[in-house]
Amino acid sequence: MKRLGDVIVLELPATLMGTPSVIYPVALVGPDHILTLVDTGLPGMLDAIIGELHAADFTLGQVRRVIVTHHDLDHIGSLEAVVHATGAEVWALEPEVPYVTGERRAQKLPSPEQAQAMLADPHLNPATRALLTREPTRVPVSRALRDGDLLPGQVRVIATPGHTPGSTSLVAEDLGCVFTGDTL
């Protein structure tokens, strides 16, 4: 965990494609120490998020909203767990909403037919098997964001489609920060 003023950079250890890595969601500290979480990491990272917030002298209960930069599993994997534990609102750019709510299948997953064929391989990587058999994220979105929206804390929404249809970057000029998800 690194604290940069009102930005808490969470450091969540992960293994991606068999390689040790770190995922870096952030928490923005607002008035009255209310937190806005930007992304939630992979499935199963709730305890790591709690630990990182605790290291910064915050609790998960202070999270009131989660902003989704895009629907890739390493960004929304623990979204359901965070929302269930906190009752936080979820905000996402309009084109990303159907992926977050489960109305549309994640664009980077194979078709159901392709997935079945892949699952028949007895040598399939366990992480890939888990990804192919996982239920899609199904979380209600409280606010559909639009390019140019100004959020609490003077955070500006910038639509940066390409990586996914609703990839979103956030510009927090007062904090001197830009959060890009996977856009950069």
The 10s digit of each residue's pLDDT in 10-64 is 999 998 777 899 999 999 999 899 999 999 998 889 999 999 999 999 999 999 9
In the three-class reduction of DSSP (H, G, I as helix; E, B as strand; rest coil), residue 54 is classed as helix
Distances, alpha carbon 100 to alpha carbons 4, 72, 126, in Å: 29, 10, 24
Alpha-carbon Rg for the chain in angstroms:
16
Separation of alpha carbons 13 and 6, rounded Å = 22
More confident residue, 116 or 69: 69
Q: How do the domains of the chain map onto residue ranges?
A: 2-179
Answer yes or no: is pLDDT of 118 > 90.
no
Provide the H-helix boundaries in 23-145: 46-55, 73-76, 79-86, 97-100, 112-119, 126-133
User: 4: Cβ–Cβ under 8 A, 6 or more apart, which residues?
Assistant: 175, 177
pLDDT of residue 174: 87
In a 13 Å sphere around the CA of 85, the CA atoms on its Cβ side amount to 18
**Averaged pLDDT for residues 127-155:** 87
Q: Which of 122-131, 141-150, 155-164 has the lowest mean pLDDT?
A: 122-131
- Helix or strand holding residue 29 (H, E): strand 26-29
Answer yes or no: is pLDDT of 159 > 80.
yes
Share of the chain above pLDDT 90, in %: 67
| pTM (two decimals) | 0.89
More confident residue, 124 or 65: 65
Q: What CATH fold (topology level) applies to the domain 2-179?
A: Metallo-beta-lactamase; Chain A (3.60.15)
- Taking the alpha carbons at both ends of the chain, their separation in whole angstroms is 22
Answer yes or no: is pLDDT of 135 > 80.
no
pLDDT of residue 41: 94
In the three-class reduction of DSSP (H, G, I as helix; E, B as strand; rest coil), residue 2 is classed as strand
